[in-house]
Amino acid sequence: MSTYRLNRVPKKITPLTIAQLTGQSQSHLQEVFPGHFLHRDVVAPYRALIEKAAEEGIALRMASGFRSFDRQLAIWNAKARGERPVMDSEGKLLAMALLSEREQVFAILRWSALPGASRHHWGGEIDIWDSAAVGEDYPLQLTQEEYALGGPFEHCSHWLGELISSGNTAFFRPYKGSQEDGVAAEPWHLSFRPLATVCEAALTPGVLRKLIANTDIYLQGVILENLDEIYSRFIRL
């Protein structure tokens, strides 16, 4: 039996420092499973969610929790250099070399956050899947098909949707894909609202401008030129 209520929320979340907010510090984190870290105030609510899922035969697993600025920067630069595939909103491979630099920036942002602006830096954002629904060597992809009707994680996704709309959890799904030119829908991405509210307020365009200006990042000039648009389309939800 769970010893804590599913929607148990810490009394008060201490605002993150700029370094914590942007993935450059791990001092707010606790290791939940080997190699997987979450904000210390999110660990108990996440464990409670796992227990609740287990009652439905769902083995909730974390594909990704905290992600550092350096990791996000490596992903960004690999995509900008063409070393890592960039997909369009339908999941089809894009020919990056044929796009303008501005188009390249917005193509990457459809599926990958700007370093410093990834919600995964906060430690309260979790990409989940259900290991009870697939075989041991299932190659997890985190695609919309996997979570849709007929996909292996349909049950898990439906259960989560019901739980969220019932109001009995502090987790929610920030990426609904409702804005056509913003971040694509991510049914696997959960956000812990009490922490997210604090972080969303702290992550201003000014914070990001300063960070990007001081970072060795591909497409830096175009990012800075378009930062206000990037912020309103991809960062502010």
Residues forming the site for Zn ion (CB under 5 A): 127, 189
Residues 14/122, Cβ–Cβ less than 8 Å:
no
Report in angstroms the alpha-carbon separations of 66 from 17, 37, 57, 90, 161.
Answer: 15, 5, 26, 26, 23
Nearer to Zn ion, 56 or 127 (CB): 127
Our CB check for Zn ion shows the closer of 127 and 225 to be 127
**Residue 114 or 222: which CB sits closer to Zn ion?**
114
Cα-to-chain-centroid distance, residue 89? 17
Comparing CB distances to Zn ion, the nearer of 186 and 222 is 186
Least distance between Zn ion and beta carbon 192 (Å): 12
* 111: phi then psi, degrees, rounded to nearest 5: -120, -15
Min dist CB 126 to Zn ion, Å, is 7
Q: How far is the CB of 104 from Zn ion (least distance, A)?
A: 22
CB neighbour list of residue 7: distance below 8 Å, 6 or more residues apart: 45, 167, 168, 169, 170
